[in-house]
A and B are shown apart, each in its own frame.
Chain A
Protein backbone atom coordinates (compact mmCIF):
# COMPACT_ATOMS: atom_id res chain seq x y z
CA UNK A 1 0.00 0.00 0.00
CA UNK A 2 1.46 3.25 -1.10
CA UNK A 3 0.89 6.28 1.12
CA UNK A 4 -0.05 9.19 -1.14
CA UNK A 5 1.66 12.58 -0.85
CA UNK A 6 -1.39 14.17 0.74
CA UNK A 7 -1.74 11.50 3.28
CA UNK A 8 1.91 11.76 4.12
CA UNK A 9 1.54 15.47 4.74
CA UNK A 10 -1.51 14.82 6.86
CA UNK A 11 0.48 12.26 8.80
CA UNK A 12 3.15 14.80 9.57
CA UNK A 13 0.59 17.42 10.50
CA UNK A 14 -1.22 15.17 12.89
CA UNK A 15 1.99 13.94 14.46
CA UNK A 16 2.84 17.54 15.06
CA UNK A 17 -0.57 18.23 16.48
CA UNK A 18 -0.23 15.28 18.80
CA UNK A 19 3.17 16.50 19.92
CA UNK A 20 1.80 19.96 20.50
CA UNK A 21 -1.04 18.72 22.65
CA UNK A 22 1.27 16.57 24.69
CA UNK A 23 3.66 19.41 25.41
CA UNK A 24 0.79 21.69 26.32
CA UNK A 25 -0.81 19.21 28.66
CA UNK A 26 2.50 18.39 30.34
CA UNK A 27 3.22 22.04 30.86
CA UNK A 28 -0.17 22.61 32.40
CA UNK A 29 0.16 19.63 34.68
CA UNK A 30 3.59 20.79 35.80
CA UNK A 31 2.36 24.24 36.67
CA UNK A 32 -0.64 22.91 38.48
CA UNK A 33 1.53 20.56 40.51
CA UNK A 34 3.91 23.35 41.46
CA UNK A 35 1.15 25.72 42.40
CA UNK A 36 -0.14 24.05 45.50
CA UNK A 37 3.32 23.14 46.78
CA UNK A 38 4.84 26.57 46.39
CA UNK A 39 1.68 28.26 47.65
CA UNK A 40 1.95 26.00 50.66
CA UNK A 41 5.61 26.93 51.11
CA UNK A 42 4.77 30.63 50.87
CA UNK A 43 1.99 30.31 53.44
CA UNK A 44 4.31 28.44 55.76
CA UNK A 45 7.06 31.02 55.46
CA UNK A 46 4.64 33.89 56.01
CA UNK A 47 3.47 32.31 59.21
CA UNK A 48 7.05 31.82 60.42
CA UNK A 49 7.93 35.40 59.59
CA UNK A 50 4.97 36.61 61.60
CA UNK A 51 6.10 34.54 64.57
CA UNK A 52 9.61 35.97 64.36
CA UNK A 53 8.26 39.50 64.10
CA UNK A 54 6.09 39.05 67.17
CA UNK A 55 9.16 37.81 69.05
CA UNK A 56 11.12 40.82 67.81
CA UNK A 57 8.53 43.24 69.14
CA UNK A 58 8.54 41.45 72.47
CA UNK A 59 12.31 41.61 72.74
CA UNK A 60 12.39 45.28 71.77
CA UNK A 61 10.02 46.05 74.61
CA UNK A 62 12.04 43.93 77.05
CA UNK A 63 15.21 45.71 76.01
CA UNK A 64 13.62 49.10 76.53
CA UNK A 65 12.52 48.09 80.02
CA UNK A 66 15.89 46.58 80.84
CA UNK A 67 17.72 49.68 79.68
CA UNK A 68 15.59 51.79 81.98
CA UNK A 69 16.23 49.38 84.84
CA UNK A 70 19.92 49.48 84.03
CA UNK A 71 20.16 53.21 84.43
CA UNK A 72 17.94 53.19 87.50
CA UNK A 73 20.03 50.50 89.16
CA UNK A 74 23.28 52.28 88.52
CA UNK A 75 21.89 55.51 89.89
CA UNK A 76 20.36 53.75 92.89
CA UNK A 77 23.60 51.92 93.64
CA UNK A 78 25.51 55.18 93.56
CA UNK A 79 22.87 57.12 95.51
CA UNK A 80 22.79 54.42 98.12
CA UNK A 81 26.43 54.98 98.81
CA UNK A 82 25.94 58.72 98.99
CA UNK A 83 29.49 59.07 97.81
CA UNK A 84 30.40 62.32 96.06
CA UNK A 85 33.15 60.69 94.07
CA UNK A 86 30.77 58.10 92.71
CA UNK A 87 28.15 60.72 91.93
CA UNK A 88 30.71 62.67 89.95
CA UNK A 89 31.65 59.55 88.05
CA UNK A 90 28.02 58.92 87.25
CA UNK A 91 27.67 62.38 85.79
CA UNK A 92 30.82 61.85 83.78
CA UNK A 93 29.32 58.62 82.50
CA UNK A 94 26.34 60.53 81.17
CA UNK A 95 28.63 62.92 79.34
CA UNK A 96 30.69 60.13 77.84
CA UNK A 97 27.60 58.26 76.72
CA UNK A 98 26.46 61.43 75.00
CA UNK A 99 29.79 61.60 73.17
CA UNK A 100 29.61 57.94 72.29
CA UNK A 101 26.18 58.06 70.64
CA UNK A 102 24.63 55.98 73.40
CA UNK A 103 21.98 58.55 74.30
CA UNK A 104 18.78 59.66 72.58
CA UNK A 105 19.28 63.29 71.60
CA UNK A 106 17.32 66.13 70.15
CA UNK A 107 18.15 69.47 68.59
CA UNK A 108 17.80 71.63 65.51
CA UNK A 109 19.03 70.27 62.20
CA UNK A 110 17.96 68.93 58.83
CA UNK A 111 16.23 65.91 57.45
CA UNK A 112 17.00 64.48 54.01
CA UNK A 113 14.83 62.02 52.16
CA UNK A 114 16.45 60.02 49.37
CA UNK A 115 14.40 57.85 47.06
CA UNK A 116 15.13 55.96 43.88
CA UNK A 117 14.06 57.49 40.57
CA UNK A 118 10.31 57.30 40.18
CA UNK A 119 10.29 56.32 36.54
CA UNK A 120 12.67 54.70 34.15
CA UNK A 121 14.23 57.80 32.72
CA UNK A 122 17.50 56.09 31.96
CA UNK A 123 18.49 53.17 29.81
CA UNK A 124 20.92 52.15 32.50
CA UNK A 125 19.04 50.87 35.56
CA UNK A 126 22.18 51.41 37.59
CA UNK A 127 21.61 55.14 37.45
CA UNK A 128 18.11 54.85 38.85
CA UNK A 129 19.05 53.57 42.28
CA UNK A 130 20.95 55.08 45.17
CA UNK A 131 24.47 53.75 45.69
CA UNK A 132 26.80 53.43 48.66
CA UNK A 133 28.91 56.32 47.52
CA UNK A 134 25.87 58.58 47.25
CA UNK A 135 24.86 57.98 50.84
CA UNK A 136 28.46 58.07 52.09
CA UNK A 137 29.04 61.33 50.30
CA UNK A 138 25.94 63.00 51.74
CA UNK A 139 26.84 61.80 55.23
CA UNK A 140 30.37 63.15 54.83
CA UNK A 141 28.98 66.50 53.78
CA UNK A 142 26.81 66.64 56.86
CA UNK A 143 29.87 65.94 58.98
CA UNK A 144 31.85 68.61 57.18
CA UNK A 145 29.08 71.05 58.04
CA UNK A 146 29.38 70.17 61.71
CA UNK A 147 26.61 67.62 62.22
CA UNK A 148 26.88 66.31 65.78
CA UNK A 149 24.52 63.36 65.51
CA UNK A 150 23.32 61.54 62.40
CA UNK A 151 20.88 58.73 61.81
CA UNK A 152 19.72 56.88 58.72
CA UNK A 153 16.27 55.30 58.91
CA UNK A 154 16.50 55.50 62.68
CA UNK A 155 19.95 53.94 62.93
CA UNK A 156 22.42 56.09 64.87
CA UNK A 157 25.72 56.37 63.02
CA UNK A 158 28.78 55.55 65.08
CA UNK A 159 32.38 55.48 63.97
CA UNK A 160 31.82 51.82 63.10
CA UNK A 161 28.58 52.19 61.16
CA UNK A 162 28.69 50.87 57.63
CA UNK A 163 26.46 52.08 54.79
CA UNK A 164 26.20 49.35 52.20
CA UNK A 165 23.64 49.61 49.42
CA UNK A 166 22.35 46.60 47.57
CA UNK A 167 19.62 47.22 45.05
CA UNK A 168 16.84 49.18 46.70
CA UNK A 169 18.01 48.51 50.24
CA UNK A 170 20.74 49.78 52.52
CA UNK A 171 22.52 47.97 55.32
CA UNK A 172 23.38 50.07 58.36
CA UNK A 173 24.52 48.73 61.71
CA UNK A 174 23.92 45.26 60.28
CA UNK A 175 20.23 45.93 59.58
CA UNK A 176 18.57 46.27 56.17
CA UNK A 177 16.25 49.09 55.24
CA UNK A 178 14.36 49.77 52.03
CA UNK A 179 14.09 53.08 50.25
CA UNK A 180 13.26 55.83 50.96
CA UNK A 181 16.29 56.58 53.11
CA UNK A 182 15.58 59.20 55.75
CA UNK A 183 18.73 60.89 56.99
CA UNK A 184 18.42 63.03 60.11
CA UNK A 185 21.20 65.27 61.34
CA UNK A 186 21.46 67.59 64.33
CA UNK A 187 23.68 70.62 63.91
CA UNK A 188 23.51 74.24 62.87
CA UNK A 189 20.61 74.10 60.38
CA UNK A 190 21.89 77.01 58.27
CA UNK A 191 25.38 75.60 58.06
CA UNK A 192 24.01 72.19 57.14
CA UNK A 193 21.69 73.60 54.48
CA UNK A 194 24.49 75.68 52.98
CA UNK A 195 26.79 72.67 52.67
CA UNK A 196 24.05 70.52 51.16
CA UNK A 197 23.06 73.18 48.68
CA UNK A 198 26.62 73.49 47.40
CA UNK A 199 26.99 69.74 47.20
CA UNK A 200 28.15 68.43 43.85
CA UNK A 201 27.13 64.90 44.78
CA UNK A 202 23.57 65.92 45.55
CA UNK A 203 23.37 67.89 42.32
CA UNK A 204 24.41 64.75 40.46
CA UNK A 205 21.78 62.69 42.23
CA UNK A 206 19.06 65.15 41.31
CA UNK A 207 20.28 65.15 37.73
CA UNK A 208 19.92 61.38 37.69
CA UNK A 209 16.33 61.78 38.87
CA UNK A 210 17.05 60.41 42.31
CA UNK A 211 14.44 62.06 44.48
CA UNK A 212 16.06 64.29 47.10
CA UNK A 213 14.04 66.28 49.67
CA UNK A 214 15.91 68.41 52.17
CA UNK A 215 14.08 70.13 55.03
CA UNK A 216 15.35 72.38 57.81
CA UNK A 217 14.02 71.26 61.17
CA UNK A 218 13.78 73.24 64.38
CA UNK A 219 13.80 70.05 66.40
CA UNK A 220 14.65 66.48 65.45
CA UNK A 221 15.07 63.52 67.74
CA UNK A 222 17.84 61.08 66.95
CA UNK A 223 17.85 57.81 68.85
CA UNK A 224 20.82 56.21 70.53
CA UNK A 225 22.69 53.32 68.99
CA UNK A 226 20.47 50.32 69.52
CA UNK A 227 22.71 47.38 68.68
CA UNK A 228 24.89 45.17 70.82
CA UNK A 229 27.35 47.34 72.67
CA UNK A 230 29.65 44.47 73.58
CA UNK A 231 30.00 43.48 69.95
CA UNK A 232 31.52 46.86 69.19
CA UNK A 233 34.59 46.33 71.32
CA UNK A 234 35.30 42.60 71.50
CA UNK A 235 38.55 42.87 69.51
CA UNK A 236 39.86 45.90 71.38
CA UNK A 237 42.39 45.79 74.14
CA UNK A 238 42.22 49.07 75.98
CA UNK A 239 45.61 50.53 76.80
CA UNK A 240 45.23 52.70 79.86
CA UNK A 241 47.98 54.64 81.44
Chain B
Protein backbone atom coordinates (compact mmCIF):
# COMPACT_ATOMS: atom_id res chain seq x y z
CA UNK B 1 0.00 0.00 0.00
CA UNK B 2 2.85 2.30 0.65
CA UNK B 3 3.98 1.84 -2.96
CA UNK B 4 0.57 2.82 -4.29
CA UNK B 5 0.64 5.98 -2.27
CA UNK B 6 4.14 6.85 -3.36
CA UNK B 7 3.28 6.33 -7.02
CA UNK B 8 0.19 8.41 -6.56
CA UNK B 9 2.20 11.21 -5.03
CA UNK B 10 4.78 10.92 -7.80
CA UNK B 11 2.03 11.14 -10.40
CA UNK B 12 0.58 14.20 -8.77
CA UNK B 13 4.02 15.82 -8.62
CA UNK B 14 4.63 15.15 -12.27
CA UNK B 15 1.30 16.69 -13.14
CA UNK B 16 2.09 19.60 -10.87
CA UNK B 17 5.44 20.07 -12.60
CA UNK B 18 3.77 20.10 -15.98
CA UNK B 19 1.19 22.58 -14.77
CA UNK B 20 3.88 24.83 -13.35
CA UNK B 21 5.86 24.78 -16.59
CA UNK B 22 2.73 25.48 -18.59
CA UNK B 23 1.76 28.29 -16.29
CA UNK B 24 5.17 29.90 -16.53
CA UNK B 25 4.94 29.90 -20.31
CA UNK B 26 1.45 31.24 -20.20
CA UNK B 27 2.27 34.11 -17.87
CA UNK B 28 5.38 34.91 -19.87
CA UNK B 29 3.26 35.07 -23.01
CA UNK B 30 0.66 37.22 -21.33
CA UNK B 31 3.24 39.68 -20.06
CA UNK B 32 4.86 39.96 -23.45
CA UNK B 33 1.53 40.39 -25.19
CA UNK B 34 0.64 43.13 -22.72
CA UNK B 35 3.95 44.92 -23.16
CA UNK B 36 3.64 44.67 -26.94
CA UNK B 37 0.26 46.34 -26.69
CA UNK B 38 1.75 49.07 -24.54
CA UNK B 39 4.67 49.50 -26.91
CA UNK B 40 2.25 49.92 -29.77
CA UNK B 41 0.43 52.61 -27.83
CA UNK B 42 3.72 54.35 -27.01
CA UNK B 43 4.77 54.29 -30.65
CA UNK B 44 1.45 55.76 -31.70
CA UNK B 45 1.81 58.49 -29.09
CA UNK B 46 5.21 59.41 -30.54
CA UNK B 47 3.81 59.42 -34.04
CA UNK B 48 1.00 61.72 -32.95
CA UNK B 49 3.44 64.13 -31.34
CA UNK B 50 5.51 64.22 -34.52
CA UNK B 51 2.46 64.79 -36.68
CA UNK B 52 1.31 67.62 -34.44
CA UNK B 53 4.74 69.23 -34.57
CA UNK B 54 4.82 69.09 -38.35
CA UNK B 55 1.36 70.53 -38.45
CA UNK B 56 2.48 73.41 -36.27
CA UNK B 57 5.51 74.10 -38.46
CA UNK B 58 3.45 74.03 -41.62
CA UNK B 59 0.81 76.31 -40.12
CA UNK B 60 3.56 78.79 -39.23
CA UNK B 61 4.99 78.71 -42.72
CA UNK B 62 1.54 79.19 -44.19
CA UNK B 63 0.90 82.13 -41.90
CA UNK B 64 4.23 83.64 -42.95
CA UNK B 65 3.27 83.35 -46.61
CA UNK B 66 -0.21 84.76 -46.13
CA UNK B 67 1.18 87.79 -44.32
CA UNK B 68 3.60 88.41 -47.17
CA UNK B 69 0.87 88.07 -49.72
CA UNK B 70 -1.24 90.63 -47.93
CA UNK B 71 1.72 93.00 -47.86
CA UNK B 72 2.35 92.55 -51.57
CA UNK B 73 -1.27 93.14 -52.41
CA UNK B 74 -1.19 96.34 -50.42
CA UNK B 75 2.04 97.40 -52.14
CA UNK B 76 0.72 97.35 -55.67
CA UNK B 77 0.11 101.03 -55.42
CA UNK B 78 3.28 102.62 -54.17
CA UNK B 79 6.73 102.31 -55.65
CA UNK B 80 8.36 102.87 -52.30
CA UNK B 81 6.44 100.08 -50.63
CA UNK B 82 7.22 97.71 -53.48
CA UNK B 83 10.88 98.61 -53.29
CA UNK B 84 10.81 98.09 -49.54
CA UNK B 85 9.27 94.65 -49.80
CA UNK B 86 11.58 93.64 -52.60
CA UNK B 87 14.58 94.75 -50.58
CA UNK B 88 13.33 92.74 -47.62
CA UNK B 89 13.02 89.65 -49.75
CA UNK B 90 16.48 90.25 -51.12
CA UNK B 91 18.07 90.62 -47.74
CA UNK B 92 16.38 87.52 -46.43
CA UNK B 93 17.52 85.44 -49.36
CA UNK B 94 21.03 86.84 -49.11
CA UNK B 95 21.22 86.06 -45.40
CA UNK B 96 20.05 82.51 -45.92
CA UNK B 97 22.60 82.08 -48.71
CA UNK B 98 25.34 83.31 -46.36
CA UNK B 99 25.95 86.44 -48.39
CA UNK B 100 25.67 88.87 -45.48
CA UNK B 101 27.87 89.61 -42.45
CA UNK B 102 25.90 88.71 -39.37
CA UNK B 103 26.14 89.09 -35.64
CA UNK B 104 24.39 87.53 -32.68
CA UNK B 105 24.67 85.52 -29.49
CA UNK B 106 26.40 82.20 -29.74
CA UNK B 107 29.49 80.16 -29.00
CA UNK B 108 33.10 79.83 -30.05
CA UNK B 109 34.37 76.25 -30.25
CA UNK B 110 38.11 75.90 -30.62
CA UNK B 111 39.60 72.58 -31.71
CA UNK B 112 43.29 71.95 -31.33
CA UNK B 113 45.55 68.95 -31.25
CA UNK B 114 48.46 68.04 -29.04
CA UNK B 115 51.74 66.58 -30.21
CA UNK B 116 50.26 63.13 -30.69
CA UNK B 117 46.96 63.85 -32.32
CA UNK B 118 45.55 65.44 -35.43
CA UNK B 119 42.26 67.22 -35.95
CA UNK B 120 40.69 65.60 -38.96
CA UNK B 121 37.74 66.36 -41.20
CA UNK B 122 35.32 64.04 -39.38
CA UNK B 123 36.08 65.73 -36.05
CA UNK B 124 35.19 69.11 -37.51
CA UNK B 125 32.13 67.72 -39.26
CA UNK B 126 30.81 66.19 -36.04
CA UNK B 127 31.06 69.55 -34.31
CA UNK B 128 29.31 71.23 -37.23
CA UNK B 129 26.49 68.71 -37.10
CA UNK B 130 26.01 69.18 -33.38
CA UNK B 131 25.88 72.94 -33.86
CA UNK B 132 23.27 72.53 -36.57
CA UNK B 133 21.26 70.13 -34.45
CA UNK B 134 21.21 72.89 -31.81
CA UNK B 135 19.72 75.35 -34.31
CA UNK B 136 22.85 77.29 -35.19
CA UNK B 137 21.84 79.89 -37.75
CA UNK B 138 25.27 80.88 -39.03
CA UNK B 139 28.63 79.13 -38.73
CA UNK B 140 32.19 80.00 -39.65
CA UNK B 141 35.48 78.15 -39.31
CA UNK B 142 38.60 80.33 -39.08
CA UNK B 143 36.46 83.10 -40.53
CA UNK B 144 35.26 81.10 -43.53
CA UNK B 145 31.48 81.18 -43.68
CA UNK B 146 30.02 77.70 -43.92
CA UNK B 147 27.39 77.50 -46.63
CA UNK B 148 25.27 74.63 -47.95
CA UNK B 149 27.95 73.17 -50.16
CA UNK B 150 31.02 73.97 -48.04
CA UNK B 151 33.25 70.92 -47.91
CA UNK B 152 35.79 69.97 -45.23
CA UNK B 153 38.68 68.26 -46.91
CA UNK B 154 41.93 66.81 -45.63
CA UNK B 155 44.80 67.90 -47.90
CA UNK B 156 48.15 66.78 -46.59
CA UNK B 157 48.75 68.54 -43.29
CA UNK B 158 46.03 71.04 -44.03
CA UNK B 159 42.28 71.04 -43.81
CA UNK B 160 40.65 72.79 -46.76
CA UNK B 161 37.38 74.57 -46.33
CA UNK B 162 35.81 76.63 -49.10
CA UNK B 163 39.03 76.07 -51.01
CA UNK B 164 41.08 77.73 -48.28
CA UNK B 165 43.93 75.91 -46.55
CA UNK B 166 43.83 75.90 -42.78
CA UNK B 167 45.82 74.55 -39.87
CA UNK B 168 44.83 73.93 -36.26
CA UNK B 169 43.61 75.57 -34.10
CA UNK B 170 40.20 75.64 -35.74
CA UNK B 171 38.06 78.41 -34.39
CA UNK B 172 34.45 77.53 -35.07
CA UNK B 173 31.97 80.30 -34.43
CA UNK B 174 28.24 79.74 -34.37
CA UNK B 175 25.29 82.03 -33.77
CA UNK B 176 22.81 80.04 -31.71
CA UNK B 177 21.20 79.99 -28.29
CA UNK B 178 24.41 79.85 -26.19
CA UNK B 179 23.12 77.70 -23.36
CA UNK B 180 21.44 75.25 -25.67
CA UNK B 181 24.55 74.73 -27.76
CA UNK B 182 26.93 74.56 -24.83
CA UNK B 183 24.74 71.98 -23.16
CA UNK B 184 24.46 69.88 -26.30
CA UNK B 185 28.19 69.94 -26.90
CA UNK B 186 29.22 69.23 -23.34
CA UNK B 187 26.71 66.58 -22.41
CA UNK B 188 27.75 63.10 -21.31
CA UNK B 189 28.76 61.08 -24.33
CA UNK B 190 28.54 64.21 -26.45
CA UNK B 191 30.89 65.60 -29.04
CA UNK B 192 33.33 67.26 -26.64
CA UNK B 193 33.71 64.13 -24.55
CA UNK B 194 34.17 61.93 -27.60
CA UNK B 195 36.72 64.20 -29.24
CA UNK B 196 38.73 64.56 -26.06
CA UNK B 197 38.59 60.91 -24.99
CA UNK B 198 38.93 59.05 -28.25
CA UNK B 199 40.71 61.46 -30.52
CA UNK B 200 42.85 63.43 -28.11
CA UNK B 201 41.54 66.65 -29.58
CA UNK B 202 41.45 69.63 -27.26
CA UNK B 203 38.04 71.29 -27.29
CA UNK B 204 37.25 74.66 -25.79
CA UNK B 205 33.71 76.00 -25.74
CA UNK B 206 32.99 79.62 -24.89
CA UNK B 207 29.63 81.34 -24.94
CA UNK B 208 29.48 84.93 -26.12
CA UNK B 209 26.92 87.67 -26.68
CA UNK B 210 28.71 89.07 -29.69
CA UNK B 211 29.67 86.58 -32.31
CA UNK B 212 30.58 88.12 -35.66
CA UNK B 213 30.38 85.88 -38.67
CA UNK B 214 31.51 87.14 -42.05
CA UNK B 215 29.75 86.59 -45.34
CA UNK B 216 30.95 84.00 -47.80
CA UNK B 217 32.99 85.05 -50.83
CA UNK B 218 30.57 85.72 -53.66
CA UNK B 219 33.00 85.28 -56.53
CA UNK B 220 31.70 81.92 -57.71
CA UNK B 221 34.47 79.95 -56.04
CA UNK B 222 32.41 78.78 -53.11
CA UNK B 223 28.75 78.97 -54.08
CA UNK B 224 28.39 77.43 -57.51
CA UNK B 225 25.11 77.16 -59.34
CA UNK B 226 26.16 76.67 -62.96
CA UNK B 227 24.94 73.08 -63.05
CA UNK B 228 21.56 73.94 -61.53
CA UNK B 229 18.55 74.67 -63.66
CA UNK B 230 15.63 76.29 -61.83
CA UNK B 231 12.41 74.39 -62.25
CA UNK B 232 9.57 76.64 -63.19
Whether chain B is bound by chain A comes out as yes
A107:B227 contact, CB within 8 angstroms: yes
Query: Which B residues are within 8 Å of any A CB, using their own CB?
Result: 5, 9, 12-13, 16, 19-20, 23, 26-27, 30-31, 33-34, 37-38, 40-41, 44-45, 47-48, 50-55, 57-62, 64-66, 68-69, 72-73, 75-76, 79, 82-83, 85-87, 89-106, 121-122, 125-126, 129, 132-133, 135-139, 145-153, 175-177, 212, 223-231
Asked if residues B72 and A74 are in contact (CB atoms below 8 Å), the reply is yes
The reply to whether B98 and A238 contact each other, CB–CB distance below 8 Å, is no
Of all chain A residues, which has the CB nearest B54?
Answer: A56
CB distance from A234 to the nearest CB of B (A): 7
Interface residues of A in 27-71 (CB under 8 A from B): 27-28, 30-31, 34-35, 38-39, 41-42, 45-46, 48-49, 52-53, 55-56, 59-60, 62-63, 66-67, 69-70
Contacts of B151 in A (CB 8 A): 140, 143-144
Tell me if A237 is interfacial: C-beta within 8 Å of chain B.
yes
In-complex Cβ contact of A45 among B44, B60, B72 (8 A): B44
Q: Are A133 and B126 in contact (CB under 8 A)?
A: yes
0 or 1 for each of A133-152: is its CB under 8 Å from B? (1 = yes): 10011001001101111100
Check: A206 CB closer than 8 A to any chain B CB: no
In the assembled complex, A121 has its CB within 8 A of some CB on chain B: no
Q: Which A-B residue pairs are the 9 nearest by beta carbons?
A: A73-B72, A100-B97, A66-B65, A143-B151, A52-B51, A162-B132, A45-B44, A59-B58, A162-B133
Question: Do A136 and B57 touch (CB < 8 A)?
Answer: no
Are B68's CB and A140's CB within 8 A?
no
Tell me whether B229 and A106 are in contact (CB under 8 A): yes
Are B227 and A100 in contact (CB-based, < 8 A)? no
Q: Is the CB of A77 within 8 A of B92?
A: no
